[in-house]
Structure 1
Amino acid sequence: MTEVDYIVVGAGTAGCVLAHRLSADPGTSVLLVEAGGRDTHPLIPVPRGFSELLGDPTTAWHYPTRPFGPAEQVEYWVRGRTLGGSSAVNGMVYNRGHRADYDALAARGNPGWGWDDMLPVFTAIEDHRLGASGTRGAGGPLHVSTVDGGDPLLDDVITAGTGLGWQRTRDLNESDEERIGYAAATIRDGRRVSAADAFLHPVADRPNLTVVPGTVVERLVFDGRRVVGVRARQDTEPVEYRAGREVILSAGALATPKILQLSGIGDRATLASAGVDVVAESPNVGARMREHRGFTLQFRLTEDLGYNRLLSTPDGRQQAMDDYRSSGGGPMASPSFDVVGFFKTHPELDRPDAQLLIAPFSMLPPEPGRAIEIEPEPGMLCVAYPLRTDSEGSVRITSADPAAPLDIDPGYFGTAHDRTTSVDLFRAVRRLFATAPLAERIAHETAPGTTVRTDQEIIDAGLVTGTCGYHAVGTAAMGPHDDDVVDPLLRVRGTAGLRVVDASVLPIMVSGNPNGPVAALAWHAADHILAEARV
């Protein structure tokens, strides 16, 4: 049995940041436990290799949901299964969220998480290609670049956005106004910068840091109400690790509540139905989950532009890879989406409530467990979603067996706000593609198609042909109340020696892609952990 000061469960974005920060003191021992393998897959560094990685069960977990929508389809929520977690397989788009998001966290009774607290954290972790400014950081561990402009098709997208009143910007994180521009991404010199690249690998040779991949944590170990370690499985062998100070769960918004519930921390009825004894009753473990429902719109182009012709055939994909290996550029060096926009669904709103992401290719219908496939005819893809959903889903265990599937209820469109916002943003995307000069590039809408018109048809199309955002939060949310899973310092109520540091602690959605915010959250949490250790 190994004993250390801190056990960090999960080597995704949050876990890599915590390992980096907590092991900086050579007198502090840290064990980082990761269920997936080492990040040696050859496509991980290749930005547009994400399509293969997401479909590969060796690099991604595929969590089935409950059947939902008019088609009663089961969706598979994908999470990274390797060092770096989802940051090693995601689309790399970097957004920080709005000032108002963080101020709302503080206003909900979570002091220390407002924008004035978090902006210095972002500037500390960033190494932005555009250089330091009042809102950007330079010299930090996480490299952020912007997609180079100059593609006529994508420039027409941005120009069309300005025709709708959106501001064209080089730095989408510089303001909270309606804006559109080339995506910021965690890419450096044509290579993905995962959390493992930025935070873990540079410190991996520290003698006080031990990284254990291929190890699935199944339960926490208690001494009374105090968590003193974890029980795990390494291949087929059981292992146990002990922590002298804390166990920190950073397994993400799906796996963290699973570990808590399997360990007896959760809703009494949920635990009883799964055959798990209650150690600490916490009714909102796995509850209050928020996730976007993204609308997928695709358009056929009037000219042979974009990447479809190249990326839809094996020979074309090989050519793109050859170009990438020789120059570090081309389609394979770009993030999942080249253009990002934030916009209001109604002009009277005080800030954007919707986001769109656009790429110069279009996809065949996705199939679970398979890589994304590209259509042969030239097309464009747009994914758009409401930024701050207030519908709630849930994640619950179904058995005391750690191998049993989770019961994931997405909870899409459970509120009038989410339904109305989604219908309005869908129509706004159509207006964008009907605006010059982009409109001249478009032959027709191929998905969901022009027959989708009414509010209900739009909602149904979102459920049937849309996508989850891969941005779930809230399943172990922070707050000041007794029924909040963690307190504002992210300590799990009803226990000692246990903390949660990952997207599950966010009670509300941060406006945009959450990978950057989770890195900042973990960096700031480390400040609290280190301060407590000094007392």
Structure 2
Amino acid sequence: MYDYVIAGAGSAGCVLADRLSRDPGVQVLLVEAGGADRHPYLRVPKGVGKLFGDPSYSWHYRTRPVRPGGNPDMWVRGKVLGGSSSVNGMVYNRGTRADWDGLAALGNPGWDWESVLPAFRAIEDNALGASPTRGTGGPLRVSTVRDPDPLCDELIATGETLGLRAVADVNEHDGERIGYAMATIKAGQRFSAARAFLRPARSRPNLVVAAHTTVTRVLLDGDKATGVQVRTARGSSETILARREVILSLGSLATPKLLQLSGIGPAGTLRAAGVEVRLDRPLVGARLREHRCLALRFRLNAPLGANRQLAGSVAQARTGAAYLLTRKGPLARPAYDVMAFLKSRPDAARPDAEVLLAPWSLGALVPGKPAAVEREPGVSACAMVLRPTSEGSLAITSADPDAAPDIDPGYFASAHDRKVAGDLFGRLRAYFATDPIASRIRRETFPGPSVASDSEEEVVRSALDGGYCGFHAVGTCAMGSAPQDVTDPELRVRGVDNLRVVDASVLPVMVAGNLNGPVMAMAWRAAESLLADR
């Protein structure tokens, strides 16, 4: 028996395991379906592309078709110590003051900016040094691009020409801005949550990490969570009891799935799946919000950028050898080198779009096949509606834990999202038509001239057919002060004692940007609450 049983060794789970096990009088178990993060590709920032399709290291969740007649998405999540922080693009954001203050205004005291900022500063060891918003000396290394491709300076200069503020730290300002991406990278190597928080804690005798172990159900005694049922690497089923709490940190897809499998969710969904209803909670799996990235790709008129270093086995081998010697080059950089936050239209109250820019380009997407870097030189952009209001859902389809859930991504269901996407697309085209980057462009390769900048319908269709999932799902166990909200502001599951959710699923709205950093800060803050309750 353990005091705390944490399901999921991802961004939140690793932080919780570290923080809670610092008390030698507390027994902590961290359960992870995946294995150790020892594969060398998991250390190379861009090396994870070699593992993205490998079910040994990632969960692959297939969604409904993203539009009638369209293709489904494949939503990938980490299945390894460190979870998605071990397989993500490593871009590090915090969200803005207004995002966090808005979260508190929705009825979630303690999650305002001034309350969360100390957690960010505590977890960070920021290469740019300490500031009122940055931390140093913390467990998580955060850095900017060390040896950027020369084309990136031109991408930033183009943004300045259009009125964006060029900054060294894109997280330090909340206005329109552009700069090199901040990322969880140290000396050219990925710095995952497992490396930052779990690895230093593994030597503690009061922390047990059970890898290759899948949580299949939360055990309930009346209205109290008493432990979890797990399936071990040998395939046997075991019961693990928790004296104090069961904490679910499986993410916005697996956490609501587990709750539903445990009988906590919409009664109709549970009955249809053959699961006994223990607690009818209609919003478990509902209110799902996810970023859908608009994609633009361009052919360059000169041999610039990183395609020549990344396309083809010979080039990859040469670039890989150089990386091993220097820990530099394109393999040492985050998924996207440059990022900008901007307004989709001049009268927007604040930036409502995020743009990620890279000195490389992918070929045409083919459903079911990994995207490949083009051999000819290119540049690309991935842009997203920063705070989508469209909502999807997740529902189990069977009592079998291995059965795939039904996921409706809900992309562009709201007029707000369609409007911002259309306006954003126009701004992106204007950006690439502006010098200095315009002087490097030969032509637009995707979506091309068939998509008109002023056609909202065509822009949305191109995003659905040729864009990307942002891998930033939230909301499926959203917190709030209303009785129907799945979790309360302390992240406790309403109606069940000793059961808590600590992951992105508790966010009722998007904390603007990439979510790995916010999830780690939330877990740090949640651990403070757990320790205070003792």
1-side partners of 2:259 and 2:237: how far apart?
Answer: 19
2-side partners of 1:141 and 1:369: how far apart?
Answer: 38
The 3-state SS of whatever aligns with 1:512 is coil
Deviations 1:219-274 (A, max 9, x none): 01111111001001113111211100000000000000000000000111111111
Q: What are the residue-to-residue correspondences of 1:262-281 with 2, within 5 Å?
A: 262-281=261-280
CA contact (8 A) 2:147 2:329 kept: no
Code of the aligned partner of 1:266: G
Q: What are the residue-to-residue correspondences of 1:284-295 with 2, within 5 Å?
A: 284-295=283-294
Deviation at 1:367, TM superposition (A): 4.8
CA contact (8 A) 2:297 2:381 kept: yes
Code of the aligned partner of 1:339: V
CA contact (8 A) 1:123 1:137 kept: yes
Code of the aligned partner of 1:326: L
1-side partners of 2:182 and 2:251: how far apart?
Answer: 23
Deviation at 1:407, TM superposition (A): 0.2
Identity of aligned residues (%): 55
CA contact (8 A) 1:52 1:371 kept: no
The 3-state SS of whatever aligns with 1:458 is helix
Deviation at 1:115, TM superposition (A): 0.3
TM-score under structure 1 length normalisation: 0.98
2-side partners of 1:68 and 1:183: how far apart?
Answer: 29
2-side partners of 1:170 and 1:159: how far apart?
Answer: 13
Alignment of 1:336 onto 2:335: yes
The 3-state SS of whatever aligns with 1:15 is helix
Code of the aligned partner of 1:4: Y
The 3-state SS of whatever aligns with 1:117 is helix
Deviation at 1:369, TM superposition (A): 6.2
Code of the aligned partner of 2:394: V
2:168 pairs with 146, 167, 170, which one? 170
CA contact (8 A) 1:70 1:464 kept: no
Deviations 1:435-487 (A, max 9, x none): 11110011111011121002211111011001111000000000001110000
Alignment size in residue pairs: 531
2-side partners of 1:505 and 1:184: how far apart?
Answer: 25
CA contact (8 A) 1:478 1:488 kept: yes
The 3-state SS of whatever aligns with 1:287 is coil
TM-score under structure 2 length normalisation: 0.98
2-side partners of 1:221 and 1:143: how far apart?
Answer: 37
Q: What are the residue-to-residue correspondences of 1:92-491 with 2, within 5 Å?
A: 92-148=90-146, 151-235=149-233, 236-367=235-366, 370-453=369-452, 454-491=455-492
Larger deviation, residues 158-167 vs 50-59: 50-59
The 3-state SS of whatever aligns with 2:49 is helix
Q: What are the residue-to-residue correspondences of 1:484-499 with 2, within 5 Å?
A: 484-499=485-500
The 3-state SS of whatever aligns with 2:119 is helix
Deviation at 1:365, TM superposition (A): 3.0
CA contact (8 A) 1:148 1:182 kept: no
2-side partners of 1:18 and 1:261: how far apart?
Answer: 23
Deviation at 1:149, TM superposition (A): 5.9
2-side partners of 1:422 and 1:174: how far apart?
Answer: 25
Code of the aligned partner of 1:515: N
Q: Which runs of 5+ in 1 are unaligned?
A: none
1-side partners of 2:10 and 2:159: how far apart?
Answer: 35
User: What is the alpha-carbon root mean square deviation over aligned residues?
Assistant: 1.0
Deviation at 1:364, TM superposition (A): 2.0
The 3-state SS of whatever aligns with 1:75 is strand
Deviations 1:480-516 (A, max 9, x none): 0111000000000010010000000000001100000
2-side partners of 1:371 and 1:188: how far apart?
Answer: 27
CA contact (8 A) 1:56 1:370 kept: no
The 3-state SS of whatever aligns with 2:244 is strand
1-side partners of 2:364 and 2:484: how far apart?
Answer: 41
